[in-house]
Chain A
Amino acid sequence: MRGFYSRKIHSLLGVIPLGAFFLEHMLTNFAAVEGGASGFTDSVLFLNSLPLVFFLELFGIWLPLLYHGVYGLYIAYQSKPNLNRFNLERNWRYTLQRITGVVTFIFIVWHVFETRFQVTLGNVEHEELGGLMHNIVTQPLLLSFYVIGIVAASFHFANGLWSFLISWGITVGPRSQRVSSVICLGLFVVVTFMFLLSLVTFRDSEFQNTVALAQSLKNLI
């Protein structure tokens, strides 16, 4: 019984609120593409002006992320991939779901430490996040790390949505599962593209205005 509920909660939290937050994060980042540095800063400030923002973050992001991440590592540990015997599309997605889960976990820990946690520490103000990102993505090594993290997270999100629909008994027959896999993989492409577009936009020199501060931060890290 414990296993049933813990797995169900894991599955639910992956979509609500984590999947929802993931899309929200994508839109906030995309404000950088649409509105440039000032658009991005406005978006960040708007989010942080939400009422009870601490509790929204705590129950909408931190706790679900912790549960989903730690329990997910356990699920990944429990699997015994057999692609050598079953070189099939869905078996690939099963295996990639676990690999991208672990990659995303590592990426998120690093990403949160670099950005949100620095805000908590008082090293960075919300207005300076654009400059901070600019500083990160202009370094080739960190840029590639971010690209890998984005692709992994987007795949994990989209394919996780596909298996969520099965685990909750929404897509039952093979036809509905085929249709939902097309939709979810389409979502993977769109989400990846939008995140990468924002990431590339952060390389723009207009985000550089707070670089001096971010530079001092980098030395600190």
Chain B
Amino acid sequence: MAETAAAPKNVKFIITRQDEPQSSSYTEEFDLPYRPGMNVISALMEIQRNPVNAKGDNTVPVCWDSNCLEEVCGACSMVINGKPRQACAALIDNLEQPVRIEPMKTFPVVRDLVIDRTRMFNALKRVKAWIPIDGTYDLGPGPRMPEKKRQWAYELSKCMTCGVCLEACPNVNEKTNFIGPAALSQVRLFNAHPTGEMNADDRLDAVMEDGGIDGCGNSQNCVAACPKGIPLTTSIAEINKQSTKHMFKRWLGV
């Protein structure tokens, strides 16, 4: 019975906070009671419920973004113990303590752990990561996709625009305008689709603009960091191949 009477185990969190987009950041520590199966999101919820820091002072609850809580929406990306990843899939049992949580500073910080991933959605628009099928009349069914191709293309479609690959990339920073690995992989996805292929040249023209495919420096951190295991470096090399061919075709006018 002695065990049950022992003090409950605590988990220490060191969270990088920022009150406003322009203000400077600071860290705040929290001691939270351990619960079996807890993850970073449930810890943040606990702080929200009882916003008291490690010193025992009342504080403002930590802000964060999250949605699906099953690693498919990409909203809760943050840097946990130095690694950009999804907070919902970060189980405390698997983390070194104290748990250090920071926002992904590659993106503009809105507040605390909330970041603005607008640049990723702009990149998807820029590279035309969609299949235009709307028209003034029924175009009928498109060509079929071979099953074998569908299988690897499905892997690329798992991208949730979470931003982890951009945070991991040493070439995505304030000195470059590189759009990052995610959008390049989507170009491969939509260029592989039998209907999307009809607009492949438009997408290749887009990735050959400034900040496009030439921004990759082959550090290959993206593929190591991607929470969905998307073969990002294969996608980038494939887009390198397609854009190189496209460049020669444009020169030769074929």
A→B interface (CB under 8 Å): 1-4, 6-8, 75, 77-82, 84-86, 88, 90-91, 94-95, 97, 162-163, 166-174, 177
Contact = CB atoms under 8 A, between A and B. Distances in A.
Contacts of A77: 175
A86 B212 contact: no
Contacts of B170: 79-82, 91, 94-95
Contact of A173 (B175, B214, B225, B234): B234
A183 to B, nearest CB: 16
Given A3-B212, A166-B218, A169-B237, 5 more contacts: A79-B173, A81-B170, A94-B170, A169-B242, A172-B238
A8 B247 contact: yes
Nearest to B176: A78
5 nearest A-B pairs in the assembled complex, by CB-CB distance: A169-B241, A94-B219, A7-B214, A169-B240, A90-B220
A6 B214 CA distance: 9
A86 B217 contact: no
B28 interface: no
A85 B170 CA distance: 11
A171 B238 CA distance: 9
Contacts of B244: 8, 168-169
B188 to A, nearest CB: 10
A49 to B, nearest CB: 37
A82 B106 CA distance: 12
B61 interface: no
A181 to B, nearest CB: 10
A177 B233 contact: yes
Interface of B: 82-83, 168, 170-171, 173, 175-176, 208-221, 224-225, 231, 233-234, 236-245, 247
Contacts of B212: 3-4
A50 B239 CA distance: 41
A79 B171 contact: yes
Contacts of A90: 218-221
Contacts of A94: 170, 217-220
B247 A91 contact: no
Contacts of A169: 237-245
Given A2-B210, A3-B211, A94-B170, A177 B217 contact: no
B82 A85 contact: yes
Contacts of A97: 217
Contacts of B234: 172-174
Contacts of A174: 231, 233-234
Nearest to B220: A90
B224 A1 contact: no
Contacts of B224: 86, 88
B127 to A, nearest CB: 14
Contact of A168 (B168, B225, B240): B240
B240 A166 contact: yes
Contacts of B210: 1-4
Contacts of A167: 216, 218, 240
Nearest to B219: A94
Contacts of A80: 170-171, 173, 175
17 contacts: A1-B208, A1-B209, A2-B210, A4-B247, A80-B170, A81-B170, A88-B221, A88-B224, A91-B220, A162-B218, A166-B233, A168-B241, A169-B239, A169-B243, A170-B241, A172-B234, A177-B233
